[in-house]
Amino acid sequence: RGWTENELTRVHSIDTRRWEVEVASEGADLQSFTVRQLKLLIEDEHGLEAETQVIRVAGRMLEDKEVLLSCGISNGSTVLLGLLGSKASKKPSIDDLTRRGG
């Protein structure tokens, strides 16, 4: 796409998929771009519902309102993406198993 190394945030999902997301293309920079905005960008580009995404950096789960730069995410950083709930996984949730008696 023509972006440089310092305009990327790398996203690694737990199932070993890896993506690079260009924050600069959204007209923002890391000083104002929030975790929620990153989740929405991942949803737009990869179809994973923002509500099911969990983003972690250095083992810490980030809150939607946090700004990327304040979380230690700088140009070229890598974050870990996990998914919650039955919408995000084909495995049944604990609630699903309980309801079915399984």
The pTM for the full model equals: 0.67
Ramachandran angles phi, psi of 92, nearest 5°: -70, 150
Is the pLDDT at 22 greater than 90, yes or no?
no
What ranges in the chain are assigned the alpha helix state H?
Answer: 35-46, 85-88, 94-100
The 10s digit of each residue's pLDDT in 39-89 is: 999 999 889 999 999 999 988 999 999 999 899 888 788 898 988 874 444
From first CA to last CA, the distance across the chain in angstroms is 47
Distances (CA, A) of 44 to 7, 59, 60, 89: 18, 25, 24, 18
Least confident of 4-8, 37-41, 63-67, 88-92: 88-92
Number of Cβ within a 10 Å radius of residue 16: 6
Number of Cβ within a 10 Å radius of residue 86: 13
